[in-house]
Structures are given as C-alpha cells and as structure tokens.
Amino acid sequence: MPRGAIIGTAQLVGCHRASGDCCPECGFPDWHWELAEVQALAAPAAAKGALGLWILPGEEVLFAVLDRRRAHLPRV
C-alpha cells in the first residue's frame, strides 16, 4: 500500500459509538465512521496525511485527487 498518498475518497455520512456486536470484525473500540460513495482513485495522489479528519494540504493536492477521481468515471 502506498504511503504518503491519498488512495480514495468517501463521504462521511455519520458516526456511532461502538456497541457490542455492531462491527465485531473491526476490533476498534470507541467510534465508527459511516461512509458512503467510497471510491478508489485511479492512481495515488501524493499528500502528507494525518490521523482523523484533516484538510487537504493545498490546492494542487485537491486538483490531483479530483483528476484521479474523474479517471474512474464512465465516459459520456
């Protein structure tokens, strides 16, 4: 797996506190993020990340991510 790169995008649509058997295979306590529209990028976009939610570190990274998302869209 690439390091120092964005490999996909998703919409954060909710979160919930871990409870009993909501996600037993996960193994992570505390909070779980609920994602929608998960999409892998056509190629990794170089970026220094962070734990948790973070803001993209510049316009050039945003444009690289958008270009790589478009590469997966069907041609019309």
**pLDDT tens per residue, range 7-30:** 888 888 998 887 766 766 666 667
Residue 73 DSSP code = S
Query: Could you tell me if 18 and 40 are in contact, meaning their C-beta atoms sit under 8 angstroms apart?
Result: no
Query: Which residues does residue 1 pair with via DSSP β-bridges, in sequence order?
Result: none
Question: In 33-68, which positions are buried (b, 16+ CB within 10 angstroms) versus exposed (e)?
Answer: eeeeeeeebeebbebeeeeeeeeeeeeebeebbeeb
pLDDT band at 72 (very low <50, low <70, confident <90, very high): low
Map out the domains of the chain as residue ranges. 5-70
**Quick one: pLDDT at residue 14?**
92
What is the pTM (predicted TM-score) of this model? 0.66
pLDDT tens digits along 40-59: 888 888 888 777 777 877 78
The candidate with the shortest Cα–Cα distance to 11, out of 37, 31, 32, 30, is 37
